[in-house]
């Protein structure tokens, strides 16, 4: 992982900041010119809490789920696949279920922005609810990909009680609709590929245009429509990226600042430059729980972030393997069966979509769905045309 402040690749000098540096950005904040900050986050802000992201090579969940013979790694969040085989999702869900993890200092940094009256909105793709646990008020959070807060039957859409859901999660069983005439599968209101995003996303998606600073952290900016949010900011609005690598169009504007490093160290740098570091550390200390190892002892474990993540991923992988518990031949049968079923359903849907398009009016924003990003491994592109990489 790099630990560098990267220069942007544009020749135009910054228009709003004095320079494309954290110090210049901190000066902008100290001068009270950033009073409406939008923050956009993804799985990378929670990896230091012990929750693996999707796409980091080696430690990401996709890299590890791929070896489980799922037809393709994203199938675990694919609604069609879930209908046929919900167990892999439930195994993952049990791991991600709120209550197990402590928020990171990056989450606390967002809380600090709120306490200072500077947070306009937090757009998160995360489903772990750690922002809430860190103290960011719910009305300032747009959970673009939903959350574990509520759940319902995927067929009749009846809500399912939270206490029964908790029991199902902890006992590793797949819950079904309480209406016995339906008995459909129950799923937390997490947005799967192919499902619509919550209306709150569409109601607030233009907000970044009114922001005076955008902070993008821990996301590969590869899942649409979330990925286009930073582009909604006005051209002169400074945008800060704190991420292991450069993503999206970040770095292409004159007032973009890139901190290509760990989120936690990045927010500490920014907080220090703003003169807030002690306050931030104190705020984060409030999130410690009695059973967390004392902070002084943490370095003695001598485990790197990657080692901790790898252990977490190995455990998850084992759990999924044992939950699936299918013989090879059963597995092949299931995959073929599911593939054929998905293909048939998709063909029917494609026919309908073509018919609708031919009739027709342009797609409306409200209908926008969470799009699976193009993927590397061979898979179901023939079934899901939207998974195909755009030709160069």
Q: Which residues bind ligand CNA (CB under 6 A)?
A: 42-44, 46-48, 51, 53-56, 60-61, 96, 125-128, 145, 218-220, 222-223, 243-245, 247, 262-263
- Across 77-114, b (16+ Cβ under 10 Å) vs e yields bbbbbbbbbbbbbbbbbbbbbbeebbbbbbbbbbbbbb
CB atoms within 10 A of CB 69: 14
Q: Can 145 be counted among the known catalytic residues? A: yes
- Rounded alpha-carbon distances, angstroms, from residue 300 to 1, 296, 308: 22, 8, 13
Nearer to ligand CNA, 61 or 270 (CB): 61
CB atoms within 10 A of CB 181: 6
Nearer to ligand CNA, 307 or 350 (CB): 307
Q: Do the annotations mark residue 108 as ligand-binding?
A: no
Q: How far is the CB of 142 from ligand CNA (least distance, A)?
A: 13
Q: How far is the CB of 246 from ligand CNA (least distance, A)?
A: 9
CB 46, CB 131: distance < 8 Å:
no
Give the phi and the psi of residue 290 in degrees, each rounded to 5: -55, -35
Catalytic residue among 107, 114, 145, 170: 145
Q: Do the annotations mark residue 181 as ligand-binding?
A: no
Q: Which two three-digit tokens encode residue 49?
A: 């809490």
Nearer to ligand CNA, 101 or 160 (CB): 101
Which residue is it, tokens 């999660």?
A: 169
* DSSP annotation string for 192-235: PBTSBPPHHHHHHTTGGGG-SEEEEES----SBTGGGGGGGS-T
Q: Which two three-digit tokens encode residue 346?
A: 């998709």
Nearer to ligand CNA, 73 or 177 (CB): 73
Query: Which DSSP symbol is given to 185?
Result: B
Q: Do the annotations mark residue 243 as ligand-binding?
A: yes
Region label for 361, one of left (φ > 0), alpha (ψ between -120 and 50) or beta (otherwise): beta
| β-sheet with 141-143: strand ranges across | 4-6, 256-260, 239-242, 213-217, 37-41, 119-124, 141-143
Q: How far is the CB of 195 from ligand CNA (least distance, A)?
A: 11
Q: How far is the CB of 329 from ligand CNA (least distance, A)?
A: 31
Q: How far is the CB of 16 from ligand CNA (least distance, A)?
A: 25
CB 136, CB 110: distance < 8 Å:
yes
Q: How far is the CB of 229 from ligand CNA (least distance, A)?
A: 12
Q: Do the annotations mark residue 308 as ligand-binding?
A: no
Q: Do the annotations mark residue 45 as ligand-binding?
A: yes
Nearer to ligand CNA, 17 or 93 (CB): 93
Q: Which two three-digit tokens encode residue 256?
A: 């973009």
Nearer to ligand CNA, 16 or 205 (CB): 205
Q: Do the annotations mark residue 53 as ligand-binding?
A: yes
Which residue is it, tokens 């009846």?
A: 158
CB 168, CB 162: distance < 8 Å:
no
- State the Cα–Cα distance between residues 206 and 301, nearest whole angstrom: 45
Q: Do the annotations mark residue 353 as ligand-binding?
A: no
Q: Do the annotations mark residue 232 as ligand-binding?
A: no
Q: Do the annotations mark residue 305 as ligand-binding?
A: no
Q: How far is the CB of 128 from ligand CNA (least distance, A)?
A: 4
Q: For residue 223, how far is the Cα from the chain centroid?
A: 9
Active site residues: 145
Binding site: residue ranges?
43-47, 53-55, 125-128, 153, 156, 177, 182, 219-220, 243-245, 263
**Would you list which residues are annotated within the binding site for NAD(+)?**
43-47, 53-55, 125-128, 219-220, 243-245, 263
């Amino acid at each position: 992982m790099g630990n560098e402040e990267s220069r942007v690749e544009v020749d135009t000098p910054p228009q709003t900041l004095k320079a494309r540096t954290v110090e210049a950005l901190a000066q902008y904040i100290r001068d009270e010119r950033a009073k409406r900050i939008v923050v956009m986050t993804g799985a990378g802000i929670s990896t230091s809490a012990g929750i693996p992201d999707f796409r980091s090579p080696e430690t990401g969940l996709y890299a590890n789920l791929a070896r489980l013979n799922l037809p393709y790694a994203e199938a675990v969040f694919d609604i069609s696949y879930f209908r046929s085989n919900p167990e892999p999702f439930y195994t993952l869900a049990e791991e991600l279920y709120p209550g197990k993890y402590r928020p990171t200092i990056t989450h606390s940094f967002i809380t600090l922005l709120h306490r200072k009256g500077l947070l306009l909105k937090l757009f998160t793709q995360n489903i772990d609810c750690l922002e809430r646990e860190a103290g960011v008020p719910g009305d300032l959070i747009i959970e673009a990909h939903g959350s574990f807060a509520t759940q319902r039957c995927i067929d009749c859409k009846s809500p399912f009680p939270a206490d029964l859901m908790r029991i199902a999660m902890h006992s590793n069983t797949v819950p079904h609709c309480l209406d016995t005439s339906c008995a459909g599968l129950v799923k937390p209101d997490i947005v799967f590929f192919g499902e619509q995003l919550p209306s709150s996303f569409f109601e607030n998606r233009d907000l970044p245009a009114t922001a005076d600073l955008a902070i993008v952290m821990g996301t590969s900016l590869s899942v649409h429509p979330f990925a286009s949010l930073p582009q909604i900011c006005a051209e002169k609005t400074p945008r800060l990226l704190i991420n292991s690598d450069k993503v999206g169009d970040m770095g292409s504007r004159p007032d973009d600042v890139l901190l290509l490093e760990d989120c936690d160290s990045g927010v500490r740098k920014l907080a220090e430059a703003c003169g807030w570091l002690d306050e931030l550390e104190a705020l984060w200390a409030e999130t410690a729980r009695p059973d967390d190892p004392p902070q002084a002892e943490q370095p003695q474990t001598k485990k790197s972030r990657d080692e901790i993540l790898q252990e977490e991923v190995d455990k998850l992988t084992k759990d999924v393997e044992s939950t699936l518990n299918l013989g090879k031949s059963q597995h092949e049968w299931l995959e073929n069966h599911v593939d054929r079923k998905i293909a048939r359903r998709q063909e029917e849907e494609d026919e309908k979509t073509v018919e609708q398009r031919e009739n027709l009016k342009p797609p409306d924003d409200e209908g926008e769905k969470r799009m699976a990003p193009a993927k590397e491994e061979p898979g179901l592109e023939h079934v899901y045309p939207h998974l195909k990489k755009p030709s160069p």
